[in-house]
Structure formats: structure tokens, C-alpha cells
Amino acid sequence: MRLEGKTAVVAGAGQTPGETIGNGRAMAVLFAREGAKVLCVDRDLARAEETVAQIVSEGGEASAFEANITLAADCEALVKAARDRFGRIDVLVNNVGIGGGGDGPTHKASEAAFDRIVSVNLKGMFLTLKAALPVMREAGGGAIVNISSLASIAGGNQIAYEVTKAAVNRLTTGTAQANARHNIRCNAILPGLMDTPMAISGIAEARGESTEAVRAARNATVPLGGRMGTAWDTAYAALFLASDEARFITGVLLPVDGGMSVRVG
Ligand SMILES: NC(=O)c1ccc[n+]([C@@H]2O[C@H](COP(=O)([O-])OP(=O)(O)OC[C@H]3O[C@@H](n4cnc5c(N)ncnc54)[C@H](O)[C@@H]3O)[C@@H](O)[C@H]2O)c1
């Protein structure tokens, strides 16, 4: 029970439908298993409710809230909902992230895709942090986990996604620096190739390949064990960063990537 007595907000706690589990849902479920009360926030309320149902079926405590994090009013509302329902926010996970849909290398990515991805991945996280930080400061502390990506440090073929995730890294370190005196820790996880529905189905659809073919190709490029990670790998790293075990850790950008970043150099 590493989060016993704590309350957590997971933004992006629903998930893209698919055979496996997404990062947001896995983090919400694991945090609840470890004793946290979890506010499951998503722009798709039905998906957030599915996550809540899973948590409740396991005996945990959770509540769903619909919010589009690209809207400041929704971010204020989700923070208010967390306070109203659970009293405080000890942990905030910023998991929302999108890609695809017209993204590409710099010379090919569409302006519309660039604007959309910046709005969700970067502005949305900024707005969520801006809404939650005063509440955490007032309470005397908190722990924030931002979900970045290995794409923040390498790639080239999805420039909007990559630059927004690079900005997430700086948003993390800057937020860590500015809030350390308030006992608020802010860290980021850089997942590598993960077997989540958004990644596998999204790529399979975009390339016109089977999900099996996409899985095999991704597995083959991972140094550690020759297989992708799962959302549980992200979730266990997030659990550590969210818990008091990480009480002296802030401003860290933690790859969870089976050695991909070591290979990239
Ligand atoms: N899957 C991977 O291989 C991988 C690798 C690196 C990083 N990541 C990152 O992990 C995070 C989650 O990925 P996932 O595969 O678990 O995705 P997911 O689709 O399962 O979860 C994302 C959730 O965010 C929600 N969402 C999207 N836009 C929103 C908005 N504007 N407001 C509120 N909710 C919104 C979606 O409805 C969805 O439920 C993302 O930030 C992604 O960039 C994933």
C-alpha cells in the first residue's frame, strides 16, 4: 500500500479501445491497488468510467470526471472535482498525449496536425499544471508525474509529437525547479516502445499492416529481451515517482524503454 491515504488525479485515465491496457488506465488501477483514491479524468467519460469500474471491482475507490484538458475551464473544473470529492490532490499524473493524424517529418507534417498535437500534448499539460499547482502549494506539497516519450530525445518522423514531448521534458524540469520550495516534486517518464492499444492499433491503421506485424517489428528493435514494454512498466515507474519512496527525487526524466535510449545514445 505505497499510496495509502493519498488522493491521485490521473488525466487521460481512459484509454483507446484495444486488446491491451493503456498507460493511463494501468496507472489509475495500480495506484488504487496501492491505496490511493483516484479521480479518473478523460475527455471520453465512458472510457474513464470503464477504468473506475475496474478499480471498484477490485475493491478500490475511484471516481470519473469528464474534461478536455485543452480548455482552461475544464482543468479548473477537474481540480475542483478532486477537491470536492476527495479533499485534496497528493498526486497528479499527466498522461494525456496524442500523435498521428497528419504528423510526419518537418517537411510533410500538416499545420493542422501540428496545432492539434501542440494543443493537447503541451498546452493541455501546461493548463492542468497551472490549475493544480496552487492547490498543491496550499496543501504544502504534492507529487507530479508527467508522461513524456522517448520520442522527446530521438526520432525525426513525427515532428509535432517529438517537439511537444521535448517541451514536456522542459515543462517538467522547470516546474520542478519553481516548486521545490513548496515541497512539490515533478518528474517525467519517457516510455519507449510500449504495447498499448493507442500505439499498436494507431500504427497498424496508419501503415495498413496487421497488429501482429507491428508488434513483431517493434519487439525486434528493443534491446532488453527483444520485446516491447507494457503499460504496467510505465505504471510501476509512476508508482515509485508518486510515492514517498521518491521523496528526494524531482526534475528527473526517467526512460522506461528497455534500453532503447542507451542504444540511441
Ligand atoms: N504507447 C506507447 O508506445 C507510448 C510511448 C511513449 C509515450 N507514450 C505516451 O503515453 C501516454 C498515454 O498513451 P497510451 O498509449 O496509454 O494512450 P491512451 O489512448 O490509452 O490514453 C490516452 C487517453 O487520453 C485521453 N485524451 C486524449 N485527449 C484528451 C484531452 N484533450 N483531454 C482529456 N483526455 C484526453 C484519451 O481519450 C485516452 O483515454 C501519452 O502521453 C503517450 O504520448 C505512449
CA–CA distance, 18 with 220 (Å, rounded to integer): 22
CA–CA distance, 150 with 155 (Å, rounded to integer): 8
Atom 27, ligand 1: which residue's CA is nearest? 96
What dihedral do alpha carbons 21, 152, 211, 106 form, nearest 10°?
140
CA–CA distance, 247 with 240 (Å, rounded to integer): 10
> Running DSSP on this structure, what letter comes out for residue 253?
E
Report how far ligand 1's centroid is from the alpha carbon of 159 (Å): 17
Report how far ligand 1's centroid is from the alpha carbon of 12 (Å): 6
Active-site positions? Answer: 161
Q: pLDDT 10s digit of each residue in the chain, 265 long?
A: 999 999 999 999 998 888 899 999 999 999 999 999 999 999 999 999 999 999 999 999 999 999 999 999 999 999 999 999 999 999 999 999 999 999 999 999 999 999 999 999 999 999 999 999 999 999 999 999 999 999 999 998 999 999 999 999 999 999 999 999 999 999 999 999 999 998 998 889 888 999 999 999 999 999 999 999 999 999 999 999 999 999 999 999 999 999 999 987 7
Atom 25, ligand 1: which residue's CA is nearest? 12
Residue 174, H or E segment: helix 159-179
Report how far ligand 1's centroid is from the alpha carbon of 235 (Å): 13
Cell of 58: 477490485
Which candidate, 28, 31, 33, places its Cα nearest to that of 15? Answer: 28
95 CB within 6 A, ligand 1: yes
- Whether 117 contacts 103, CB under 8 Å: yes
255 CB within 6 A, ligand 1: no
Residues 6+ apart with CB under 8 A from 210: 204
Residues 6+ apart with CB under 8 A from 240: 246
9 CB within 6 A, ligand 1: no
CA–CA distance, 240 with 88 (Å, rounded to integer): 20
Question: pTM of the predicted model, to two decimals?
Answer: 0.98
Start-to-end CA distance of the chain, whole Å, equals 37
Ordered by where they begin, the domains of the chain are: 7-192+230-253 (3.40.50.720)
Report how far ligand 1's centroid is from the alpha carbon of 121 (Å): 9
